[in-house]
């Protein structure tokens, strides 16, 4: 049984939802003033534009609300995803990205509010069905922060926006640690039983840690860089993150914070066009 009572869990959810709202609002300011050409700016090697990025975030918010409020509708989405496991998400982004920018931006804003309300209304102790394991409202909100943070990074990099380094990145790092077993599973590998100690320096200078202090395998370094590595936005050679021990070393090769297939490996910065 959790040592947290209902009020304690609500307080944590309030905090996470506040950070999600802040991450979303920050991205909103970067895209709100873009013209049509700005929304068509390519943000990834796969060809996703700014419009694709916002479309994807809106679709996932909307799907999260569906999972909470319409279980039968979400079950249909799960079945559709099973029929097209490699491109289900991309198809949704491709379709929504054709929406006129002002309409897409408005829909994303409205959907963010709907998700906040829906997550706050989940009964205490109830799990939410998802494309991966069922999640608590706090876990789902944390996953939404991770996705928003990662896709906002794509947008900012394409637009030449300098991203403020805030301690909200802790949510992304936390998911990177918590999803360690999934990183092996999605690649058809057996997950090691060895504990890994993770120690990361936050943007504020605080030390964040996970795992036992006596673990033989360790990961240390910069929290922001670990988040970039875990969201597969940076090649391992381009981050200030180090491993001690063979288990930790291999984990850093496959770490990912998100559900689904890992996708293409990120190129080294030196290999990217224009670098």
pLDDT tens by residue, 192-212: 999 999 999 999 999 999 999
Both structure tokens of 261 = 């297939």
Does 1 have pLDDT greater than 50?
A: no
pLDDT of residue 5: 58
pLDDT of residue 6: 63
What is the band of 4 on the pLDDT scale with cuts at 50, 70, 90?
A: low
Percent of residues, the chain, with pLDDT higher than 90: 84
Q: What is the DSSP letter of 114?
A: H
CA distance 261 to 275: 28
Place of tokens 């909307």: 62
Q: For residue 22, which of 225, 167, 227 has the smallest C-alpha distance?
A: 167
Please state the separation of Cα 62 from the chain's center in Å.
Answer: 16
Sequence-separated (6 or more) residues with CB below 8 Å from residue 123: none
pLDDT of residue 264: 83
Does 275 have pLDDT greater than 50?
A: no
**What are the tens digits of pLDDT across the range 106-157?**
999 999 999 999 999 999 899 999 988 899 999 999 999 999 999 999 999 9
Whether the CB-CB separation of 182 and 189 falls below 8 Å is answered with no
Whether the CB-CB separation of 186 and 86 falls below 8 Å is answered with no
The overall average pLDDT reported for the chain is 93
Domains of the chain: 6-164 (1.20.120.450), 170-271 (3.30.1050)
Mean pLDDT throughout 227-236? 96
Q: Where are the alpha helices (DSSP H) in the chain?
A: 6-31, 36-39, 50-69, 71-83, 88-96, 101-120, 137-159, 170-178, 180-185, 223-230, 246-254
pLDDT of residue 86: 79
pLDDT of residue 262: 84
What is the band of 258 on the pLDDT scale with cuts at 50, 70, 90?
A: confident
Does 227 have pLDDT greater than 70?
A: yes
Which of 3-7, 123-127, 222-226 has the highest mean predicted lDDT (pLDDT)? 222-226
């Amino acid at each position: 049984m959790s040592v947290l009572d209902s009020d304690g869990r609500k307080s944590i959810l309030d905090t996470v939802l506040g950070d999600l709202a802040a991450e979303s609002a920050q991205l909103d300011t970067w895209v709100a003033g873009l013209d049509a050409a700005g929304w068509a700016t390519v943000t990834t090697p796969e060809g996703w534009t700014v419009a694709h990025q916002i479309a994807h975030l809106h679709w996932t918010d909307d799907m999260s609300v569906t999972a909470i409020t319409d279980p039968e509708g979400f079950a249909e989405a799960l079945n559709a995803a099973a029929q097209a496991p490699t491109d289900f998400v991309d198809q949704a982004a491709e379709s929504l990205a054709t929406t006129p920018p002002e309409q897409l931006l408005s829909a994303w804003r409205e959907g963010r509010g709907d998700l906040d309300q829906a997550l706050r209304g989940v009964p205490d102790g109830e799990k939410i069905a998802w494309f991966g394991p069922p999640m608590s409202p706090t876990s789902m909100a944390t996953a939404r922060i991770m996705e928003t943070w990662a896709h906002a990074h794509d947008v900012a990099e394409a637009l030449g926006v300098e991203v403020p380094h805030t301690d909200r990145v802790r949510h992304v790092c936390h998911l990177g640690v918590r999803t360690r077993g999934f990183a092996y599973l999605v690649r058809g590998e057996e997950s090691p039983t060895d504990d890994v100690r993770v120690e990361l320096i936050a943007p504020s200078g605080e030390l964040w840690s996970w795992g036992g202090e006596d673990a033989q395998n360790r990961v240390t370094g910069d929290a922001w860089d670990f988040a970039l590595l875990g969201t597969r936005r940076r090649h391992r050679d381009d981050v200030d993150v180090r491993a001690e021990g063979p288990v930790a070393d291999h984990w850093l090769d496959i770490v990912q914070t998100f559900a689904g297939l890992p996708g293409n490996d990120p190129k080294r910065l030196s290999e990217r066009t224009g670098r």
